[in-house]
Amino acid sequence: MKITMSSSRLGLRLAACLLNISEARRKNVVEKIAKAALFEENVNSVLAACVEAFQVIDMEVQEGIHPCLGAVDLIPIYPLSGIGVEECGMVVRSLAEKLTIHVPGCSMFLFGEADQPEKRSLVHRRKQLGWFSRREFSFLKPDIGTMPNKRCGLTGIGASPYVMNCNVTIDSQDLATGKKIASAIRGSNVGGLKGVQAMAFPHNGKIEIACNVESFEDPKPMEKTGYMTYCILGHQYSYISPQSLEAQIKKLAHDQGISTIGTALVGFTPQECKDCAEYALREKIGEFWKKREGIFM
C-alpha cells in the first residue's frame, strides 16, 4: 500500500509511505484503509489510513505466515524528490505523537532517522524486539505510547532511504533450502548482495524468498554490475536491480537442482514510485490502484 505526500508544487517535495498492515486476504478491508487516506493531505493521509487500520484489524484474531507485531505493522517514510531523509525523520516523529493521541492504546518503536540519536536500522530494532518470531506483547517496551495491547500490537515507524520488495518463488517445499538461499543473498553475509535482506517462507505449497531491497547512500557511485543509482538533493543512492537479484536467486536455486516459478513479484523502484505518485497527483486520481490494476507491492 502506497501513500504519497507532496507540496502544492507537483514534484518539488515528494515522499512515500509504503504502509504495511497485517491484512491481505480481505480486499474490502485493504481498500477501506486506502480510501481513508484520500480525504486528507500530506502526512495527515498516513495518519487517517493508520487510524482506520487500527479500527478494522484486530491482532487477537489475525492469522498469517509472515511475521508481524502490529495491526499497522510498519510505517516507513522514504524520500523521493526534493526532501531529505532527515526531514522525513522529523515528519515521522510528529506522526508518531499524533497517532498516540488519535489511537489510545497504540504503541510504536522507532527506527532509522526517527530513532535519535542511535539511528538504529529496522532490522536491528526488529531483532531486538523479536519481530521475526514473537507474538507475545507483554514484555515489549515501546519508544512511544503505552505498553502494547493485544488488539493493536506494536508498530514500527521510521524513515530511511527507499526500500523496495522483490519476492521469488522456488519450486520446492524444502524450507531449509529456501533459508540457505536467503542467507546467501543477504547483504550482511560474506558474498551477499549489498542492501538485501531476505527470508524464506512457505507459500502456496512452495517456498518464497522474500527480499527487502534497501537503497544505500553511495557518495561516489561507480559502475557496479547489477546496481542502479539515483540522486536526491545531491545525495547519491544505489540499490541492486530486481533483475539482478532474481537472477542470483535462480542461480543459487539451480545449484540445488531447483527451478523458480514464474517471474519475481517486484515492488515499485524509487523512480517508478516517484513517477506513479506524480502522475496520480497531476491527474487527480485518488484510487490509482484501480487504474493500475494487477498485483503490486
List, for residues 100-138, the tens digit of each pLDDT value: 999 998 999 999 999 999 999 999 999 999 888 766 777
Burial of 107 (0-12, 13-18, 19+ CB in 10 A): buried
The CA-CA-CA angle for residues 193, 2, 290, to 5°, reads 120
pLDDT for residue 7: 43
DSSP 148: P
Residue ranges of the chain with per-residue pLDDT less than 70:
1-12, 41-43, 134-135, 221-223, 290-297
What is the rounded CA–CA span in Å between residue 14 and residue 59?
32
Which backbone phi and psi does 166 adopt, to 5 degrees?
-150, 110
21 DSSP β-pair partners: 72
Bond preceding residue 117 cis, omega within 30 of 0: yes
Quick: pLDDT tens for 8-55: 444 468 999 999 999 988 888 998 998 898 877 666 899 999 999 999
pLDDT for residue 192: 94
The pTM for the full model equals 0.89
pLDDT for residue 8: 42
pLDDT for residue 42: 62
What is the rounded CA–CA span in Å between residue 290 and residue 252?
36
pLDDT for residue 203: 86
pLDDT for residue 62: 84
Alpha-helical (H) ranges within 116-199 are 122-129, 175-185
pLDDT for residue 6: 45
What is the rounded CA–CA span in Å between residue 115 and residue 215?
18
What is the rounded CA–CA span in Å between residue 14 and residue 270?
11
pLDDT for residue 25: 83
